[in-house]
Structure 1
Amino acid sequence: MAFAGKYQLETQENYEEFLEATGLQNAKTEHKVVTEVVQDGDNYTWTQTIPGWSWSISFTIGKECEMESIKGVTFKGTVTMKDGKICLQFPEYFFTAEIIDDKLVMICVTPGEKGVAMKRVCKRI
């Protein structure tokens, strides 16, 4: 799947519940999140931006690398590709992303029996 491109948030489900579950209640925003994915083979740079804030990670599929979570926690992780989905275990949640009908669909699930799943659908811009 080709992930490269720029995407704007179209819809999201369980956003506030997810923020609360991850301790990011203060991150609530009404701005449209823009996600930009630069892809060169298995090498990616993934950036999310809202006015006044930006977060970016770079990784290679299948290789461990050091990254920073959205809470500023530095961690080592290995991004994998499974069934066309990018998968990564962040310290606060499990992340998947895939392209469905030319839209970027991201799902973040917090750990535990009562894990909260947030789903974001972003249209290509």
Structure 2
Amino acid sequence: MAFAGKYEFEGDENYDEFVKAIGLPSDKADMGRNCKIVTEVVQNGNDFTWTQHFPGGRTTTNTFTIGKEADMETMGAKKFKATVKMEDGKIVADFPNYRHTAEISGGKLVEISTASGVVYKRTSKRIA
């Protein structure tokens, strides 16, 4: 599945419950609430560069190859190692305290993170 493109935050569900479930500090949780994140995905076969641009100039970039261990960073800026997989056309990564999936559905980037039974869903529309 082709993920390459630039996507702008459109909406989310269960943000507050999710950040509480993963123990994100309230200052970081406040910064992320209704944040107009722009996600840029560069894909070359199984190689990905996944960059999130936050208002104010902060950027987080994860570079990975499907099926190979990579250095990653969480939404709370914690570093960890993960092997990103492709399952049924979805990118799947197990972060330290949540599972993250991403897929293209209806031309939109749909990301779902699950922690302690709480499901957080973020939808972004393609802008380029």
Match in the other structure for 1:39: 43
The AA in structure 2 aligned to 1:21 is A
Question: What SS class does the counterpart of residue 91 from structure 1 fall into?
Answer: coil
TM-score relative to the length of structure 1: 0.91
Could you say what the CA RMSD is over the residues aligned between the two structures, in angstroms?
1.3
Distance verdict in 2 for CA 1:66–1:31, change over 3 Å = closer
Residue range with higher mean Cα deviation, 29-38 or 115-124: 29-38
Could you tell me which residue of structure 2 aligns to residue 68 of structure 1? Answer: 73
- Structure 2 spans left out of the alignment, 5+ residues: none
Map of 1:103 onto structure 2: 108
Would the aligned equivalents of 2:92 and 2:99 in 1 still touch at CA under 8 Å? yes
- How many Å apart are 1:76 and its aligned residue? 1.5
Query: Any gaps of 5 or more consecutive residues in structure 1?
Result: none
What's the offset of the Cα at 1:10?
Answer: 0.8
Calculate percent identity across the aligned residue pairs.
53
Runs of 4+ in structure 1 off by over 4 angstroms are: none
TM score, norm. by length of structure 2: 0.89
Could you tell me which residue of structure 2 aligns to residue 8 of structure 1? 8
Q: Is the 8 A contact 2:22 2:97 kept in 1?
A: yes
Q: What count of residue pairs does the alignment treat as equivalent?
A: 122
Partner-residue secondary structure (3-state), 2:52: strand
Q: CA deviation at 1:63?
A: 0.6
What is the match of residue 124 of structure 1?
Answer: 126
Q: Who is 2:93 aligned against?
A: 88
